[in-house]
């Protein structure tokens, strides 16, 4: 069903010196502590990370709960902030699809699509033949998912011992780590422009429409970068 050789090869990516395990763990420690402060039980906190597994979505959910937002508002706010997962999925799944593999693997394993696992897969997919990439991907996803769940549990338990300064410190890990990873991924003109323009336009669009700023900023920046890259290749 799942080729264990490739599964464990993917799973072991988390053990590397430059793996996102530390950053991911720190982020979910902060989430675990935040959920406890919001009144979640440990089961609810684990359940949340298990089913959602997307940091910005969890933060938006927590923020919405704090202000007493309705279910519809929570749905829309989370959907908007996590809509980035759509282009991330479309830019990853074609690299993993192979006719010899059953469809259910793709529909189940898409749950693992999050920045950390996505960036690891993007930089490692060429090392695995296409037929086995989905099992490799499931290994990466399971590893990062496990780190997130363990981080949530640690954060929940340790929340009484973490002061506000430590929580602020933990909160910066996510943007710093992924910022560095994005800078490291700037190897082609299209990706370089996408990252630079996205970083500029995302916050700029925030002044026009805060809810849609990531999508509008990302869409405009990515489209400009695509056309500039295509013209440059001709």
Partner 1 sequence: MTSSIVIVILVTSFATYLSRFLGVVSSEKIKETSKWFRWFNCLAYSTLAALITRTIIFPVGVLDEASYLVRFIVVLTSILIFYLTKRNLVYPTVFSVVFLSVISSFY
Name which of 177, 169, 56 is nearest 116 in CA terms.
177
Can you tell me the distance from the alpha carbon of 199 to that of 193, in angstroms, rounded to the nearest whole number? Answer: 10
Name the segment binding partner 1 (CB under 8 A); options: 134-142, 144-152, 153-161, 224-232: 224-232
Q: Does 179 bind partner 1 (CB under 8 A)?
A: yes
Which residue in 129, 122, 136, 178 sits closest to 12, CA to CA?
A: 136
**What is the C-alpha separation between 201 and 63, in angstroms, rounded?**
24
Q: Does 121 bind partner 1 (CB under 8 A)?
A: no
Number of residues that bind partner 1 (CB under 8 A): 109
Region for 51 from its dihedrals, namely left if φ exceeds 0, alpha if ψ lies in -120 to 50, beta otherwise:
alpha
Q: Are 208 and 220 in contact (CB under 8 A)?
A: no
Give the interface segment with partner 1, choosing from 5-13, 37-45, 141-149, 151-159 (CB under 8 A). Answer: 37-45
Cα Rg, the chain, nearest whole Å: 18
Residue 160 interacts with partner 1 (CB under 8 A): yes or no: no
Q: Which of 13, 78, 128, 143 binds partner 1 (CB under 8 A)?
A: 78
The only residue of 101, 116, 132, 213 in contact with partner 1, by rule CB under 8 A: 213
For residue 17, what are its two tokens? 């010196």
Nearest approach, Cβ of residue 129 and partner 1 (Å):
14
Q: Does residue number 229 form part of the binding site for partner 1 (CB under 8 A)?
A: yes
Does position 111 interact with partner 1 (CB under 8 A)? The reply is yes
138 binds partner 1 (CB under 8 A): no
Taking the complex as a whole, the smallest distance from the CB of residue 21 to partner 1 amounts, in Å, to 10
Nearer CB in complex with partner 1: 4/37:
37
Residues 56 and 78 sit within 8 Å (Cβ to Cβ): no
- Which one, 4 or 102, has the nearer CB to partner 1? 102
């Amino acid at each position: 069903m799942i080729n264990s050789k490739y599964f464990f090869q993917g799973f072991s990516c988390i053990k590397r010196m430059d793996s996102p395990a530390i950053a991911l763990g720190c982020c979910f420690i902060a989430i675990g502590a935040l959920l406890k402060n919001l009144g979640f039980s440990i089961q609810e906190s684990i359940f949340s990370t298990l089913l959602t597994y997307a940091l910005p979505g969890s933060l938006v959910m927590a923020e919405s709960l704090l202000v007493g937002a309705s279910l519809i508002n929570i749905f829309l706010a989370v959907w908007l902030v996590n809509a980035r997962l759509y282009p991330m999925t479309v830019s990853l799944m074609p690299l993993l699809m192979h006719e010899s593999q059953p469809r259910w693997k793709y529909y189940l394993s898409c749950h693992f699509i999050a920045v950390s696992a996505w960036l690891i897969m993007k930089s490692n997919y060429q090392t695995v033949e296409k037929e086995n990439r989905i099992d490799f991907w499931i290994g990466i996803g399971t590893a990062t998912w496990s780190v997130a769940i363990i981080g949530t549990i640690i954060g929940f338990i340790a929340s009484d011992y973490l002061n506000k300064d430590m929580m602020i410190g933990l909160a910066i890990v996510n943007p710093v780590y992924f910022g560095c990873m994005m800078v490291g991924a700037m190897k082609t003109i299209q990706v370089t422009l996408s990252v630079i323009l996205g970083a500029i336009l995302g916050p700029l669009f925030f002044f026009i429409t805060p809810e849609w700023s990531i999508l509008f900023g990302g869409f405009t920046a990515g489209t400009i970068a695509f056309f500039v890259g295509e013209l440059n290749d001709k």
